[in-house]
Amino acid sequence: MTSPKNAPSPVAAPAVTATTTRPARRPAQVKPATEGWKQATGPEGRPLLQFKSPRVSQPPTHLADLTLPEREAKFKELGLPAFRAKQLSVHYFQHFTTDPERMSDLPKERRAEMVDTMFPKLLTEVKRLTTDNGDTIKFLWRLFDGSLVESVLMRYPGRVTLCVSSQCGCGMNCPFCATGQAGLTRNMSTAEILDQIVQANRVIAEGGLGNLRRDGGHDAERVTNIVFMGMGEPLANYKRVMNAVHRMVAEAPEGLGMSARGITVSTVGLVPAINKLAQEGVAVTFALSLHAPDDELRDDLIPVNDKWKVDDALDAAYNYYKVTGRRVSIEYALIKDMNDHPWRAELLAKKLNQRGRGWVHVNPIPLNPTPGSIWTSSEPHVMQEFIDTLIEHGIPTTLRDTRGKEIDGACGQLAAAE
């Protein structure tokens, strides 16, 4: 789930506190529409939704696609003892390497064979954009079939966040989204999702992510937080995404040993999958990209709203909180005169409070100002008013920051340009 096209990478910023200045403004309603491309539509003229991946070939099986017992079974097939699978897993998940030269604990005569069998090349770096101070890197990767996907690596005091992609393209057809324009090419494999993290960890280990200032708290040496806000709708690729999540939280040598709390799964609102996620037994952070509290606007802004309405999505989000005890995030990109009206802030607060208190947190996302585009940022005072209204109704609200702004805005932009 990427954010609207002019939104910077989705990461938290300091809370905005309430103020009382509210200049009067002209009521207006800008309707969502594509700019420079045409949405694919179905027989009834509604935007086409694509839930199933086309039947195309998948990447070769990689070590990260397999559970540890599956890796051990594979090694037995190769006539190798099971413990070699553990050793190879440590190289990948702990040392972030697939280089046989660095695997001196493995028998030299079979090292190349093990590496060739278990580590087919999944991600080839095509482009790397880095911010001036070096603390944000955007990667463009080419997959085995030529598909292009992106990930964004961001250092913060005490944590390193990676925004990952989960599908090649996307079938959700949101009118603001660069990723959705070409539709869904295919689901990414579990290993393709995980390899984005391992490659990022390698870059960090090699000193490629700048601004390492231990005295300032910039001391995380590997990716600590994952947000599924890159290309694709993660819950439309449920099985592979969840396998990847299980591998992220599994201790070495099975996986990366990350904290589930640091993993955010974001969706436009695939209700059955949200309910399934609640039962998954991994208490990841759940984020609902709502962007509108009323069906009239959301039907056009997020086409999947045709299938699951605002109240359905909010009920599922609330159920996630009830089952897991984890507070839910509501993502809300503030778009000038489209969804930033005071009555919408009131309606959003009402709908959230109707379901209970203390279960939810709203993250308004400021878009980049884009002259001439309907997808442009709300005026600062309008944004403030929206936030104030939510806070006055007791909804914790945090404006996201603008990280990634100078390197091509939201996910999907780079791949689209390529």
Active site residues: 150, 411
The answer to whether residue 64 forms part of the interface with ligand SF4 (CB under 6 A) is no
| Contact between 227 and ligand SF4 per CB under 6 A | no
Rounded Cα gap, residues 246 and 235, in angstroms? 15
Q: Which residue is nearest to ligand SF4 (CB)?
A: 180
Minimal distance, residue 161 CB to ligand SF4, in Å: 18
If binding is defined by CB under 6 A, does position 180 make contact with ligand SF4? yes
Task: Considering only the stretches 171-179, 201-209, 217-225, 382-390, report the one whose residues sit in contact with ligand SF4 under the rule CB under 6 A.
Answer: 171-179
Give yes or no for residue 232 binding ligand SF4 (CB under 6 A).
Answer: yes
> Do residues 29 and 337 lie in contact, with contact meaning Cβ atoms separated by under 8 Å?
yes
Q: With CB under 6 A as the contact rule, which of the stretches 43-51, 87-95, 167-175, 351-359 interacts with ligand SF4? A: 167-175
Q: Is 216 helix (H, G, I), strand (E, B) or coil?
A: helix
For ligand SF4, the closer CB: 149 or 231: 231
Q: Binding ligand SF4 by CB under 6 A: which of 152, 174, 270, 284?
A: 174
Q: Which helix (H) or strand (E) holds 287?
A: strand 285-289
Q: In what order do the strands lie in the sheet with 136-142?
A: 124-130, 136-142, 148-156, 159-163, 225-228, 263-267, 285-289, 328-334, 360-366
DSSP class per residue in 125-164:
EEEEEE-TTSSEEEEEEE-TTS-EEEEEEEEETTEEEEE-
Rounded Cα–Cα distance for residues 311 and 58 (Å): 36
The reply to whether 233 sits near ligand SF4 by the rule CB under 6 A is yes
Q: What are phi and psi of 147, to 5 degrees?
A: -60, 150
Judged by CB under 6 A, the number of residues near ligand SF4 is 13
Nearer to ligand SF4 (CB atom), residue 135 or residue 233:
233
Determine the 3-state secondary structure of 203 from DSSP.
helix
Output helix, strand, coil percentages for the chain, rounded to the nearest 5.
Answer: 35, 15, 45
Question: DSSP secondary-structure letter at 186?
Answer: E
Minimum CB–partner distance for residue 30 and ligand SF4 (Å): 18
Nearer to ligand SF4, 42 or 358 (CB): 42
152 binds ligand SF4 (CB under 6 A): no
Question: Does 360 interact with ligand SF4 (rule: CB under 6 A)?
Answer: no
**Three-state SS sequence of 336-405:** CCCCCCHHHHHHHHHHHHHHCCCCEEEEEEECCCCCCCCCCECCHHHHHHHHHHHHHCCCCECCECCCCH
Residue 198 C-beta: closest distance to ligand SF4, Å: 23
Q: Which amino acid would we find at residue 415?
A: A
Comparison of 114 and 163: residue with beta carbon closer to ligand SF4: 163
Cα torsion 164, 136, 220, 201 to 10°: value is: 50
Report if residue 170 touches ligand SF4, rule: CB under 6 A. Answer: yes
Choose the binding region for ligand SF4 from 118-126, 143-151, 185-193, 225-233 (rule: CB under 6 A): 225-233
By CB under 6 A, is residue 1 in contact with ligand SF4?
Answer: yes
Residue of 63, 115, 172, 200 interacting with ligand SF4 (CB under 6 A): 172
Q: Is 168 in the site for ligand SF4 (CB under 6 A)?
A: no
CA proximity to 193, closest of 223, 214, 157: 223
Q: Of 165 and 402, which has the nearer Cβ to ligand SF4?
A: 165
> Stretches 22-30, 118-126, 175-183, 202-210: which one binds ligand SF4 (CB under 6 A)?
175-183
Q: Are 158 and 220 in contact (CB under 8 A)?
A: yes
Q: For 112, phi and psi rounded to 5 degrees? A: -60, -40
| Window of 28-36, 72-80, 98-106, 177-185 that interacts with ligand SF4 by CB under 6 A | 177-185
- Options 268, 316, 382, 391; binder of ligand SF4; rule CB under 6 A: 268
Stretch that binds ligand SF4, among 35-43, 113-121, 149-157, 166-174 (CB under 6 A): 166-174
Q: Which of 376, 365, 48 is nearest to 229 (CA)?
A: 365
The reply on whether position 264 binds ligand SF4 by CB under 6 A is no
Please, which residue, 251 or 418, has the CB nearer to ligand SF4?
418
Under rule CB under 6 A, residue 2 binds ligand SF4: yes
Q: Is 416 a residue that touches ligand SF4 (CB under 6 A)?
A: no
- The b/e string for 357-374 (b: 16+ C-beta within 10 A; e otherwise) is eebbbbbbbbbbeeeebb
Query: 1 or 152, CB closer to ligand SF4?
Result: 1
Of 25, 18, 20, 9, which is closest to residue 365 (Cα–Cα)?
9
Say how far apart CA 243 and CA 258 lie, in whole Å.
14
| Residues forming the site for ligand SF4 (CB under 6 A) | 1-2, 170, 172-174, 177, 179-180, 231-233, 268
